[in-house]
Structure 1
Amino acid sequence: MFVDGDEITGIIDWSEAGRGDALYDLATLTLGHEEHLGDVLTGYGTDVDLDVIRAWWSLRSLLGVRWLVEHGFDPTAPGCEVDVLRARM
């Protein structure tokens, strides 16, 4: 969303909009960039269960591995989803 003061001036990217756990969005935003999680959570402004964020990171990574394999890519390549999963161990 774009805002000017208290007024919404624009909205973009509703292609994946839907009902669900807001922590999924926070996890997606910080996936592979745990060093920014503290800043994101400070801006979010409420208590957040970090175990839920970690669970969403794992699910997103596993879904990414599946997609990569199904489309002929190597999920173990440096920087890919397997690296993200290993970093969580």
Structure 2
Amino acid sequence: MPGLADAELQLSATQDSLTVSGERKATAPKGYAVHRRERGDLRFSRSFALPARIDVDKVNAELKNGLLVVTMPKHPESQPKQITVKAA
């Protein structure tokens, strides 16, 4: 997410999907004029289907140096369960 601030990003999560959306506005500092713009205004939205149910209350997102890291722990019911084998 280079060029975006954390205030320009919105994340929403359900048990089986994650949606990332945002908007980048290219504004010149006060008193300056833009002669050439390499990156224009941008609005985006992308949804991802997740392979397992997640615990929505424990989703965490961090934006650092343009890299968005989203941590989504699996829902306890989706975790693998250890099964004890009993001898007969």
Same fold flag (TM > 0.5): no
Select the structure with the greater relative contact order (CA < 8 A; seq sep ≥ 6). Answer: 2
Structure number with greater Rg is: 2
Q: Which has the higher strand share?
A: 2
* TM-score, with structure 1 as normaliser: 0.21
